[in-house]
Copies of this chain bind each other. A is one copy, B any other.
Amino acid sequence: MASLDCGPPKKRPKESQLEENEETFDKQDRDYFRSYSDIAVHEEMLSDTIRTNAYRHAILKNYENVHGKIVADIGAGTGILSIFCVQAGAKKVYAIEASDMVEQTRRIVDENRMSDRIDVVQNKVEDVVFPEELDVIVSEWMGYNLFYESMLQSLIHTREKWLKKGGLMMPSAASLYLAPFTDEDYPDRLELWSDMYSLYKVSMEAMKPYAQKCIASRVIIRSISPESVQAHAHKVCCLDMKEVQRADIEKVQNKFEFRCFGHSEIHGFTTWFTVDFPGGTSLTTSPYSEGTHWAQTLLYIDQPLDVEQDTLIRGTISISANPKMTRYLDISLSYRVGEGPVYHKYYLMNDWIT
């Protein structure tokens, strides 16, 4: 059978490889927006009560800031955030949705008798001409590893062009965290190749190094337990949504330093994010909190690291949009244990992630 959810091991793509990929930016955009017309995405997002209630509580709590105000909801989807804003007293909400989902958005707005307060607009937000300045911009723009999908650029563009001086961004801040982790299943996954002899009388030890290499070449989205986090998380970045400039996120680069909690085997580094709303509401995708559909992002390394209490791991992570496929992410990681050798890893975060 063919791999339906697994891609080839990822290496830094050579120019030629990227030219092989005939997908153009426009086609990527088309596919991207089209994917949001599928019901399963919306089932997943709305079933994620941690996510949706964080927005609901934040918007209703900000009654004073929303009541009688002009709001834009960027990437409205079902329009649920727009509806929360009207429930909080918004005078007018522009629900911007580029995908064909927009027909459903309109039906839902009508069903909730809010068509006089919510204007549903099908367009890329960069191309929208708002009839007035905005008091509030609300958006659920966060992708896996915070930056996947690169929707933030569109948001900043809209803020700069349309948000009133002193206007409100919801969320108002976003932070990305990094920590070393242990994958409890990792040993079993390699042991599978030793099991081949007892299962089928065929020896496949030779597959182990290749299996390790493949595992280490992939970005995986999965929930991990709090126990598998092996050091205090490092904050890679903290974006003030009112201040962040497009240039700031073209390449997010940051040094990190971890002191390990104790004896363990590190299989890679995991990221998660938190967004904050005015008034103190937060939404976190941390492994220490209740799970969301974002889970955590796992970056596996080539060889597990054996560490003890207070073992020092230092390094640098850098995240940027892939120049050719701008919704994909290039992630570069370099790290060393104590004064040991420096290791370098590159990951292409694309639709193969699972």
Contact = CB atoms under 8 A, between A and B. Distances in A.
A62 interface: no
A77 to B, nearest CB: 10
A80 to B, nearest CB: 6
A142 B37 CA distance: 32
Contacts of A203: 108, 111-112
Contacts of A238: none
Contacts of A112: 202-203
Interface in A10-41: 20, 22-24, 27, 30, 32, 34-41
B149 A2 contact: yes
A352 to B, nearest CB: 9
Nearest to A207: B104
Band of interface residues on A: 35 or more
A49 to B, nearest CB: 7
A206 B354 contact: no
Given A8-B35, A80-B200, A200-B56, A206 B111 contact: yes
Given A24-B22, A47-B192, A354 B207 contact: no
The 3 closest A-B pairs by CB, nearest first: A39-B214, A107-B206, A3-B35
A206 B9 contact: no
A321 interface: no
A46 interface: yes
A39 B2 contact: no
A353 interface: yes
A148 interface: yes
Contacts of A103: 210
A40 B202 contact: no
Contact of A4 (B8, B37, B354): B354
Nearest to A47: B192
Nearest to A189: B43
A231 to B, nearest CB: 27
A294 interface: yes
Given A7-B35, A39-B214, A46-B200, 20 more contacts: A1-B294, A2-B351, A6-B41, A7-B38, A8-B34, A8-B38, A9-B38, A22-B22, A22-B27, A42-B207, A43-B211, A46-B199, A49-B199, A80-B200, A80-B202, A104-B206, A107-B206, A108-B203, A111-B204, A111-B206
A148 B2 contact: yes
Contacts of A111: 203-206
